[in-house]
Structure 1
Amino acid sequence: MPEPSLPPSTTVPLARRMATRLRMKHLALLLAIQQQRSLTRVAEQMATSQPAITQALAELETLFGAPLFTRSARGMTPTALGELVLARAQTMLADLDHWALDIEAVKQARAAHLHVGVIPFLPGRMLAQAIGRTRPRGRRITVTLHEDTSDHLLARLRAHELDCVIGRTSAILDMAGLKHTVLYQQEPRMVAHRRLAARLGRKPLQWAELTELDWVLGARSTPMREQITDFFLRAGVEPPLPFVESLSAKVIGELVAANERAVSIVPADVAEELVRIAGVGMVPHRFGWTLPPITLFQRKGGAQYEEQRLFAQALKEVCAELAAA
């Protein structure tokens, strides 16, 4: 009597089953369920019937060998396995978007399209020079810059939404799955309205008097803001409450240039750009401390195509030149 055959799920490796049965539309379906939390709403969104959606989800759960969602009165919630599958699905769809942009770039006789995360207080000259020097096989790359804080950008880097991040190192950052290269250090400089900067530059800074000015500062919990707060506290003075908070160096420059009582502290290379572009004044005072270093973050795993490597090399060269200057 022949032995009963085992179910396919136990005889065929999962990786092979996924390669032959998993489709991109399945990934989009899973993310839609996570977002809508209702198969009825997913069916409406995808212009199909609810039984078809239910069957597709059942096939996926059979493929993975366990439920991906739990159903309750509050809607559908991912299981532990579902959370893992959703994270991978989001990453794969992000890679697909980047692939499409790369194809469009090549069609236009350009190289691949890069998504680069940048923190706000970086000199535009540095980014422009690094991008300009990246010419794989004599072609220019195309780039989308995504501006945010380091922690948010690194989360997007791990999710494959970004190719690399130019941010700041910090002991509290989650570095799992990432590698980093320190590029250069930034010193802080005080910028103010031109007349105010000239007046502040005639004598040593009086921190108690500075609290009475109109401060324009970056958002709370950023390295720059924390350093400024710490500097006032070490001087025995209550830190000032800013009249404007902004992560945009350009906005800070415009606000300072237009207000004779306005003052801010920004990295020295950014301060030099604001002097040239916004017409602010720079106070000739050295604070004696540096900000956490500007750093290039990349993913450890996965392939890195030529354009990414060339951009990283160009960035390192430009930053070395800036540091030397």
Structure 2
Amino acid sequence: MEKNYLFNQRIRLRHLHTFVAVAQQGTLGRAAETLSLSQPALSKTLNELEALTGARLFERGRLGAQLTTMGEQFLIHAVKILDALNHAGQSLRASEQGDPAVLRLGVLTTVALGMLPSILDRFHQQQPQAIVQVATLHNNVLIAGLKAGEFDVCIGRMAEAEMMNGLNYELLFLESLRLVVKPDHPLLSDNVTLSHALAFPVVISPEGTAPRRIAEAMLEKQGCHLPATLVETSSTSLARQLALRYNYVWFVPSGAIKEDLLHASLAALPIASHEPGEPVGIMTRSGVPLSLSAEVLMTTIRRSHAG
């Protein structure tokens, strides 16, 4: 009883913010940058928290900071506390006369390039006073941010069951992989094969990403290898410019180039991955009520995809 009393008296919000940031970022260095702290100051706060809890919350090593079993349990409570405070602040701000609704949306980079512009346009036709804050991130960071209460709604990929704990997921589509080039690319004047395409420079997602895994499976099945002339990037805008202006072959998730194919800005090579694709859908937190703006946005996302 005395230990719990001391914990309640001495715990501070900075302890929770530091803990959640390290859990999200995976390293003390990146967490310190996120919080605009020095790494020694962050380490001190983390050590204070572990002293207060009486448990080791992270295993720190060469690969970063990994949550212990006790750390995983504490993360659930820390996120709930910060989320409750965030909602309290939002409700107070919203009560001020004339204060517009703020909606925090997290999306995959491919979604931001593909379907998101039309979604935002349709949404603002219904909610003209709403402010939409958009973050484009990798899927694991999206999920961590959603769990930490940084987003109201996310459009991301289905992950392992353990990562999806505490989240609602609604499938929108299966995102396949396409190989696209500019409309006057030399490959389009011939019977193209994957080996022919790989004679040209390639732009592709970094290792460890879902699009890269699908691409590697395609290459392995056909006994091919990526060329030496290669650009690996998570920037869809850079990859798109390389494909639009030069002879790069872009390995890209289908959702990112839907508009480009529709308007013939880019052309898809007749090479199929034969993989079912990665499930992309709407994600929200379980048990957390959504604002009217969030509900309208989700309806708009469903209708945009169906249309």
TM exceeding 0.5? yes
Counterparts in 2 of 1:126 and 1:193: CA distance versus 1, 3 Å: closer
Mapped to 2, the partners of 1:269 and 1:85 lie a distance apart of 37
- Cα distance between partner residues in 2 of 1:173 and 1:202: 47
- 1:50 corresponds to which residue? none
State the partner residue of 1:120: 109
Q: CA deviation at 1:233?
A: 1.6
The answer as to 2:187 corresponding to 1:231 is no
Matches within 5 A, 1:55-94: 67=54, 84-85=73-74, 88-94=77-83
User: What is the CA-CA distance between 1:171 and the residue it aligns to?
Assistant: 5.0
Q: In the TM superposition, what is the alpha-carbon distance from 1:135 to its structure 2 partner?
A: 6.5
Note closer, same or farther for the CA distance 1:88–1:206 as it changes in structure 2 (3 Å cut): same
- Given the alignment, which residue of 205, 226, 245 partners 1:258? 245
Alignment of 1:159-170 (within 5 A): 159-170=148-159
Change over 3 Å in CA distance of 1:272–1:295 after alignment to 2:
closer
8 Å CA contact 1:134, 1:140 repeated in 2: no
Alpha-carbon distance in structure 1 between the residues aligned to 2:125 and 2:266: 40
SS at match of 1:319: helix
2:126 is the alignment partner of 1:141: no
Deviations 1:116-171 (A, max 9, x none): 22111115463233334446995532222222222221122122222222112255
**Cα distance in 2 for residues equivalent to 1:317 and 1:83:** 37
1:178 partnered with 2:172: no
Contact persistence 1:105–1:142 (CA under 8 A):
no
User: Structure 1 residues 282, 94: closer, same or farther in 2, change over 3 A?
Assistant: same
| Alignment partner, residue 192 of structure 1 | 181
**d(CA) in 1 for partners of 2:305, 2:131:** 20
Write the distance in 1 (CA, Å) between the matches of 2:229 and 2:104: 33
**Matched-pair contact (CA < 8 Å) for 2:193–2:271:** no
Counterpart contact for 1:117–1:145, Cα < 8 Å: yes
Deviation, structure 1 residue 292: 1.3
Change (3 A) 1:255 1:124: closer
Q: Does 1:283 align with 2:268?
A: yes
> CA 1:82/1:298 → structure 2, altered by over 3 Å: closer, same or farther?
closer
CA distance in 2, matches of 1:83, 1:231: 36
1:215 aligns with 2:202: yes
Pair 271,135 (structure 1): closer, same or farther in 2 beyond 3 Å: closer
Output the CA distance in 2 between the equivalents of 1:249 and 1:228: 16
Aligned-residue CA RMSD (Å): 4.4
CA distance in 2, matches of 1:80, 1:270: 38
TM-score, normalisation: structure 2: 0.70
- Residues 172 and 274 of structure 1: CA distance in aligned 2, closer, same or farther (over 3 Å): farther
Residue-by-residue CA offset, 1:288-325 (whole Å, 9 max, x unaligned): 6452132111222233332222221221111111xxxx
Cα pair 2:177 2:277 within 8 Å, conserved: yes
Q: Which amino acid aligns with 1:251?
A: L
2:195 alignment partner AA: A
- Alpha carbons 1:67, 1:82 under 8 Å: kept: no
Seen in structure 2, the aligned counterparts of structure 1 residues 280 and 69 have a Cα distance that, compared at 3 Å, is same
- CA separation in 1, counterparts of 2:72 and 2:255? 43
Output the amino acid matched with 1:155: A
Shift of 1:203: 3.1
Change (3 A) 1:99 1:247: farther
Q: Deviations over 1:84-126 (max 9, x none)?
A: 4465335533553465466556647354322222111115463
1:270 aligns with 2:259: no
- Unaligned 5+ runs, structure 1: 1-7, 46-52, 71-77
Between the aligned partners of 1:233 and 1:79, the Cα distance in structure 2 is 36
Match for 2:77: what amino acid?
R
Identity of aligned residues (%): 20
SS of aligned partner of 1:303 = coil
SS state at 2:129 partner: coil
Letter in 1 for 2:152: D
**Structure-2 change in CA distance of 1:138 and 1:176 (3 Å):** closer
CA contact (8 A) 1:31 1:86 kept: no
TM-score computed with the length of structure 1 as normaliser? 0.67
Deviations 1:152-210 (A, max 9, x none): 211221222222221122557722112211112344432224432xx322333222222
Distance 1:124 1:233, change over 3 A: closer
